Amino acid sequence: MDTLQLESSTATASRPAAKSPMPDEFRELTQLIERLHRRFLDVLRTELDRLDIHDINPVQCLLLSNIGREEINVRNLMDRGYYQGSNASYNIKKLVEVGYLEQKRSPRDRRSTLLKVSDRGLKLIERVRDLEARQAKAIGNLTQDGSIVGALKLMRRIERYWDDYIEGRA
């Protein structure tokens, strides 16, 4: 390669590439969402280990937390978008078996199953809420104009847009 070609290729390599307005950042954001979810499951796994709880996994712990104090049917739980069919069924069955979740037939529709977190499950949820409160305090900036509130608003907008896209409205 002669000197002119080398200078030309060096200049091209050092020149910033033309950048599209947002797609790279948006792609990074969607990858970050996925990584944060997996990392939060790791946090739950660590907390379950610290609490010496070994009969459920982090996904099941999160499922309990998402149900909270509600009595909800399985279909509504899946409609919220948290869980897929067989995955939800397996986790619900396991949580019932180990006593974190109670399951009963709906009095209005005998084909429908209602789920309710047991007292044992509520104690675990309380510990998870304490963990979340400690982490929120450590991360800080939870004021109305703070970064976590702003991030939450952005995530909700993305979720609404993706819902609309899936439904053919966007």
- Contact call for residues 58 and 42 (beta carbons, < 8 A): yes
Residue 18: its pLDDT value, please? 54
User: Can you give the pTM of this predicted structure?
Assistant: 0.75
64 is in which domain, residue-wise? 24-139
Tell me whether residue 50 is in a domain.
yes
pLDDT at 15 over 80: no
Tell me whether residue 7 is in a domain.
no
Tell me whether residue 17 is in a domain.
no
Tell me whether residue 55 is in a domain.
yes
Instruction: Summarize pLDDT for 112-169 with one digit per residue, the tens.
Output: 889 999 999 999 999 999 999 888 887 775 555 567 778 888 889 988 988 888 889 9
Q: Looking at 16-20, 30-34, 76-80, 82-86, which range is the least confident one? A: 16-20
Instruction: Summarize pLDDT for 46-89 with one digit per residue, the tens.
Output: 999 999 999 999 999 999 998 999 999 888 888 776 676 678 88
Tell me whether residue 14 is in a domain.
no
Tell me whether residue 168 is in a domain.
no
